[in-house]
């Protein structure tokens, strides 16, 4: 059949076109579309040169929500007519793969799991000039996850974005490709937005170029770190991981599963109740514990925890309640699922559930992180085991009581020059120049706060003379014989000690959640760069 002659503009205008790659398991256009299928569709002519179908839809006409507010001041009405929101998706075939171009609200015509995850991100990283980046969307792992968009006023290299390759997850990137004739700019996440002069007749060829770029690994020359941690957005994989998690819980295989608050809370006041527990009958728990939680759920079901068959729905509907000493009110704070912290190992990667989201950790990166953390492990000599239920404050006071070689600085908050909030220099300071920071259990959010606090305090001690004077005054009150050790702030004279109270029987520091290992390594390497000695210690919990 003779190919149709298509009239094209002499100089096509610059457009923003959004491309998605359909997963291989979707063999036809209709399989990638939501049910019911859009009523309006139009196929490209058979002699066009490539196969494609356009699907369109319109939402019911309605006024924007703000109109009713404005009409309160204009009883006679305002000249705003209801309008529909049109959407379209063009599905086409190129190199035996299906592609989707979306227009308006057309993305919503596709099934949620029909498209390849990170297609746009990978294509963009493989095609852009690494020295001509414009914008990065990052997710930074700390005690709470920070989402940021970092933009520069002109094309720049990666160095201009201050990326921390240890803890930053790349969500989207914008940059310029070397071939300006193909595109002026590319922006990639799951979808790829191409800004350039593209002819409709060349769409299939454009898709072939994008598919070729998607299959390449050129991005590893400048962006290899993006594979270290990836958010799992594939719904099928999340479902499979959740099934594995439920199987492990129901089999009692809990050594890599625990409960932790998914956000920072005030541990001096909080207690917890599990979904099945009642006020006046069950005492609140001082901490979250997966074994206690399963026993509480089994008690409600009238059986034993070993015979309990829990479903994902049980964890998503069940709520952890937070109890405060100064109030009888209990707040349903989080779904039980969001409090699960789990690690599932595969052949090539490690998958981690944290705060309700699954992450894929490249296995060699996980192994290197653990190796780096082990390099800082040290025994904290002379420190007794913690008692079950003993608070950090009580433990610190007991250790320091009567000691001539320790000064208790727990809860001594000192303000740095220009700082908005005071900081705690450490929990204990030792005769050998150790700034000792102590935290209970292996909770990612609490430990992230521990590592951050220790880093900030050490850096402030180093650069702020007024802070050192305040610290010396506090030290003089606690243990005058140690105050003179603060006079000459040479980093190599001091050791920043991070000590974790845990009753876990697992190896150390394997007992730490992966994100805790990751955060520790980042802070330890930063402090070592200043010249401080750094150590990661374990304080056992024994009855």
For residue 1, the model assigns a pLDDT of 46
- Using left for φ > 0, alpha for ψ between -120 and 50, and beta otherwise, residue 77 falls in left
426 and 465: one domain? yes
What mean pLDDT is reported for the chain?
A: 87
Average pLDDT estimate for 504-509: 86
3-class secondary-structure state, position 17: strand
Q: Does the bond joining 509 to the residue before it have cis omega, within 30 degrees of 0?
A: yes
Is pLDDT at 288 greater than 80 in this prediction?
yes
218 and 242: one domain? no
Is pLDDT at 531 greater than 70 in this prediction?
yes
Q: With respect to residue 180, please indicate whether it lies within any of the assigned structural domains.
A: yes
Average pLDDT estimate for 148-176: 82
10-28 burial code (b ≥16 CB/10 A, e <16) = eeeeeeebbbbbbbeebee
At a CB cut-off of 8 Å and minimum separation 6, what does 48 contact?
3, 4, 6, 201
Is pLDDT at 194 greater than 50 in this prediction?
yes
Domain boundary among 332, 347, 366: 366
Residues 74 and 347: their CA atoms lie apart, in Å, by 66
pLDDT tens-digit map of 301-332: 766 666 778 999 999 999 998 887 655 556 66
Q: What is the DSSP string of 135-159?
A: EEEEEE-SSS-EEEEEEEEEEE-GG
Q: Which helix (H) or strand (E) segment is 293 a member of?
A: helix 290-301
Sort strands 349-354 and 340-345 into parallel, antiparallel or unpaired: antiparallel
Q: Which helix (H) or strand (E) segment is 372 a member of?
A: helix 363-374
Is pLDDT at 140 greater than 80 in this prediction?
no
With cut-offs at 50, 70 and 90, classify the pLDDT of residue 49: confident
Q: With respect to residue 7, please indicate whether it lies within any of the assigned structural domains.
A: no
For residue 427, the model assigns a pLDDT of 96
Structure tokens given for 169: 């997850």
Domain boundary among 310, 343, 366: 366
Higher pLDDT, 53 or 446: 53
Residues 98 and 50: their CA atoms lie apart, in Å, by 11
For residue 487, the model assigns a pLDDT of 87
For residue 400, the model assigns a pLDDT of 93
41 and 186: one domain? yes
Is pLDDT at 55 greater than 70 in this prediction?
yes
Sort strands 495-502 and 533-540 into parallel, antiparallel or unpaired: parallel
59 and 194: one domain? yes
270-273: strand order across its sheet: 270-273, 319-324, 330-335
Average pLDDT estimate for 196-200: 91
Q: How many CA atoms lie within 13 A of 353 on its CB side?
A: 26
Q: What are phi and psi of 347, to 5 degrees?
A: -70, -40
Residues 417 and 523: their CA atoms lie apart, in Å, by 22
For residue 151, the model assigns a pLDDT of 85
- Cα angle 122, 125, 128; round to 5: 135
Is pLDDT at 300 greater than 90 in this prediction?
no
331 and 383: one domain? no
440 and 507: one domain? yes
For residue 183, the model assigns a pLDDT of 95
Give me the percent of the chain exceeding a pLDDT of 90: 50
For residue 114, the model assigns a pLDDT of 92
Sort strands 97-104 and 86-94 into parallel, antiparallel or unpaired: antiparallel
Residues 295 and 276: their CA atoms lie apart, in Å, by 10
3-class secondary-structure state, position 125: helix
Nearest-CA neighbor of 369 among 141, 154, 157?
141
At a CB cut-off of 8 Å and minimum separation 6, what does 461 contact?
425, 435, 467, 468, 471, 489
Is pLDDT at 442 greater than 60 in this prediction?
no
Q: With respect to residue 190, please indicate whether it lies within any of the assigned structural domains.
A: yes
Q: Where are the beta strands (DSSP E) in 163-215?
A: 168-175, 185-188, 192-196
Q: With respect to residue 228, please indicate whether it lies within any of the assigned structural domains.
A: no
Nearest-CA neighbor of 193 among 86, 129, 101, 110?
101
CA distances from 145 to 183, 185, 199, 354, 355 (A): 33, 29, 41, 10, 9
Q: With respect to residue 8, please indicate whether it lies within any of the assigned structural domains.
A: no
Structure tokens given for 209: 């170029």
203 and 143: one domain? yes
Q: With respect to residue 25, please indicate whether it lies within any of the assigned structural domains.
A: yes
How many structural domains is the chain composed of?
A: 3
280 and 178: one domain? no
Is pLDDT at 144 greater than 60 in this prediction?
no
pLDDT tens-digit map of 334-382: 899 999 989 998 877 899 998 888 999 998 999 999 999 999 999 998 8
Owning domain of residue 455: 375-540
326 and 382: one domain? no
Q: With respect to residue 1, please indicate whether it lies within any of the assigned structural domains.
A: no
Q: With respect to residue 207, please indicate whether it lies within any of the assigned structural domains.
A: yes
Give me the percent of the chain exceeding a pLDDT of 70: 91
With cut-offs at 50, 70 and 90, classify the pLDDT of residue 143: very low
Structure tokens given for 501: 């109270």
pLDDT tens-digit map of 67-121: 777 777 777 877 777 777 788 999 999 999 999 999 988 888 999 889 998 999 9
Query: pTM score, two decimals?
Result: 0.74
Structure tokens given for 223: 């962006």
Least confident of 36-40, 116-120, 225-229: 36-40
Is pLDDT at 264 greater than 70 in this prediction?
no
Is pLDDT at 451 greater than 60 in this prediction?
yes
Residues 38 and 107: their CA atoms lie apart, in Å, by 12
466 and 354: one domain? no
Domain boundary among 302, 335, 366: 366
80 and 98: one domain? yes
340 and 390: one domain? no
Q: Does the bond joining 36 to the residue before it have cis omega, within 30 degrees of 0?
A: yes
Q: What is the DSSP string of 25-72?
A: T--STGGGBPSSPPSEEEEPPTTSSS-EEEEEEEPPPB--THHHHHHT
pLDDT tens-digit map of 461-499: 999 999 999 999 999 988 898 999 998 889 999 999 999
């Amino acid at each position: 059949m003779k190919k149709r002659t298509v009239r094209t503009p002499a100089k096509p205008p610059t457009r923003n076109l959004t491309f998605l790659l359909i997963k291989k398991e979707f063999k036809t256009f209709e399989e990638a579309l939501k049910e019911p299928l859009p009523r309006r569709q139009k196929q490209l002519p058979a002699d066009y040169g490539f196969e494609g179908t356009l699907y369109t839809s319109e939402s019911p006409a309605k006024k924007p929500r703000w109109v009713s507010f404005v009409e309160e001041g204009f009883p006679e009405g305002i000249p705003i007519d209801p309008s529909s929101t049109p959407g379209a998706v063009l599905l086409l075939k190129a190199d035996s793969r299906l592609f989707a171009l979306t227009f308006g609200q057309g993305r919503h015509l596709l099934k949620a799991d029909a498209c390849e995850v990170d297609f746009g991100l990978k294509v963009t990283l493989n095609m852009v000039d690494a020295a001509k980046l414009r914008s990065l969307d990052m997710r930074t792992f700390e005690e709470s996850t920070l989402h940021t968009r970092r933009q520069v006023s002109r094309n720049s290299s990666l160095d201009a974005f201050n990326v921390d390759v240890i803890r930053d997850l790349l969500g989207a990137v914008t940059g310029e490709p070397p071939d300006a004739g193909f595109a002026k700019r590319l922006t990639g996440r799951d979808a790829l937005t191409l800004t350039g002069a593209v002819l409709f007749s060349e769409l299939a060829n454009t898709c072939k170029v994008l598919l070729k770029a998607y299959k390449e690994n050129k991005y590893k020359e400048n962006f290899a770190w993006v594979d270290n941690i990836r958010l799992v957005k594939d719904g099928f994989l999340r479902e499979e991981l959740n099934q594995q998690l439920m199987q492990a819980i129901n089999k009692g295989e809990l050594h890599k599963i625990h409960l932790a608050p998914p956000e920072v809370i005030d541990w001096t006041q909080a207690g917890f109740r599990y979904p099945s527990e009642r006020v006046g009958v069950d005492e609140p728990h001082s901490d979250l514990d997966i074994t206690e939680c399963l026993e509480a759920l089994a008690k409600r079901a009238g059986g034993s925890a070993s015979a309990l068959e829990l479903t994902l729905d049980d964890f998503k509907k069940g709520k952890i309640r937070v109890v405060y000493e100064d109030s009888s009110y209990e707040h349903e704070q989080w779904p039980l699922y969001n409090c699960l912290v789990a690690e599932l190992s595969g052949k090539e990667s490690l998958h981690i559930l944290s705060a309700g989201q699954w992450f894929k950790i490249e296995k060699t990166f996980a192994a290197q992180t653990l190796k780096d953390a082990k390099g800082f492990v040290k025994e904290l000599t002379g420190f007794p085991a913690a008692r079950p239920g003993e608070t950090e404050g009580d433990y610190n006071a007991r250790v320091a009581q009567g000691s001539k070689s320790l000064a208790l600085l727990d809860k001594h908050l000192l303000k740095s020059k220009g700082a908005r909030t005071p900081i705690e220099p450490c929990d204990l300071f030792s005769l050998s120049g150790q700034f000792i920071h102590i935290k209970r259990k292996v909770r990612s959010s609490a430990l992230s706060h521990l590592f951050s606090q220790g880093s900030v305090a050490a850096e402030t001690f180093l650069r702020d003379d007024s802070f050192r004077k305040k610290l010396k005054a506090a030290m003089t009150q606690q243990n005058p014989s140690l105050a003179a050790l603060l006079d000459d702030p040479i980093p190599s004279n001091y050791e920043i000690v991070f000590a974790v109270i845990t009753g876990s029987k697992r190896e150390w520091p394997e007992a730490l959640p992966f994100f805790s290992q990751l955060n520790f390594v980042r802070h330890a390497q930063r402090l070592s760069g200043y010249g401080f000695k750094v150590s990661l210690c374990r304080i056992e919990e024994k009855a």
